[in-house]
Amino acid sequence: MAWIVLVFAAIMEVVWAISLKYSEGFTKLWPSVSFFVSAWISFACLSYALKTIPMGNAYAVWTGFGAVGITIAGIILFNESISMTRVICILLIVVGIIGLKLSSN
């Protein structure tokens, strides 16, 4: 269950990062509200997952999954560049996340 909550925390990390971009420096109300709500949910879920998942693994998975999600969202939503180097780096992060999951108790 903790791993499912951790993945949800990472999804909320992607949501708060996108909301932060759309808030334009907290000048737009609803993206700002979305940021604060999703950030709180993300940290609360991470805190819950840390009860059973080792801290290093949980934090690495949370940030890694978030980084991959935010990178993909940036490419899709904000027309950020995509290159073979970026794709390879994203794949390396995913391999690292899988390795951490497999190495945890």
Mean pLDDT across the chain: 94
Assess contact for 62 and 10: CB atoms under 8 A: yes
pLDDT in tens, 61-104: 999 999 999 999 999 999 999 999 999 999 999 998 888 888 87
Nearest-10 Cα torsion for 86, 87, 88, 92? 100
pLDDT score, position 103: 81
Assess contact for 70 and 21: CB atoms under 8 A: no
CA 2 to chain centre: 16
The tokens of 83 are what?
């290159």
pLDDT in tens, 32-48: 999 999 999 999 999 99
